[in-house]
Amino acid sequence: MSRRERAGKMERTEHVLLVRLPVRGMVKRRLAAGIGNAPANELYRRFVSDMLDTFGKASIRPVICHHPKGAAGAVRRWLGPRYRLLAQRGRDHPGRLRRAFEDLFANGADNVLIFASDVPDLPARTIREAGHALERSEAVLGQSGDGGYYAIGFRRASFVPGAFTGIAWSTERAFVQTAEKIRMAGRSLHILPRRYDIDTAGDLGAFVRRNRKTGSSRSHTMAYLRRHPGLVRIRPGAQDGA
């Protein structure tokens, strides 16, 4: 949570990290198809750790919005007591996203920014940019490399529930369709820099290639991969982020 003054009023902004309880076979299934359930589960734990470290660098303590909704105790044992928890409600991903916004706005937040938990090299500057953007724009959206999005945010007065319906989820059209919905609702939209989530074994190889000489070379994710080098296959000549 952060507080900023806008138009003479102190506004409360909630930064939210969407997480799944890391149960083997239930997280990162596309990644698991390439490297196995156990390594995918362990890597997901490290993705979340890296993202929480990055929030810390941005001086932000996010709300942990967890799935399944009855997993609060297990999530608390996993991540510790310092984070506020919010259960995800709804039968599917878009429904849970929409209700997370609704729950936080109903609880008094003026602005809400929600981030996916599988972008372990997300820079702190992008998190900060998202928060600053909502001071000038009514909505924020961050495109991921596969055509989806890794971050979405709204002011309470400019929330667009329809942004979560009629979207071709898990396709390269999700970002474009969501941006169109927001703009069609008459909202000003700030686009964050493109970042790369990790959904597949190929994405994992791209992450390693992209971060050999960055700060993320010292991340929890990279440390695990150094201990298990056989998990990563990098195609010769592959482009960063490919």
At residue 204, the 3 state secondary structure works out as helix
The Cα 203–Cα 225 span in angstroms is 13
The Cα 200–Cα 120 span in angstroms is 14
Please provide the CATH number assigned to the domain covering 2-228: 3.90.550.10
The encoded tokens of residue 11 equal 């506004």
Q: The whole model's pTM is what? A: 0.93
CA-based radius of gyration for the chain = 17
Determine phi and psi for 70, rounding to 5 degrees: -90, 15
Task: Please list the alpha-helical segments (H only) found in 88-210.
Answer: 93-106, 124-136, 174-184, 201-210
Domain range summary for the chain, segments of one domain joined by +: 2-228
| pLDDT values of the chain reduced to their tens digit, one per residue, 242 residues | 665 655 556 889 999 999 999 999 999 999 999 999 999 999 999 999 999 999 999 999 999 999 999 999 999 999 999 999 999 999 999 999 999 999 999 999 999 999 999 999 999 999 999 999 999 999 999 999 999 999 999 999 999 999 999 999 999 999 999 999 999 999 999 999 999 999 999 999 999 999 999 999 999 999 999 999 999 865 444 444 43
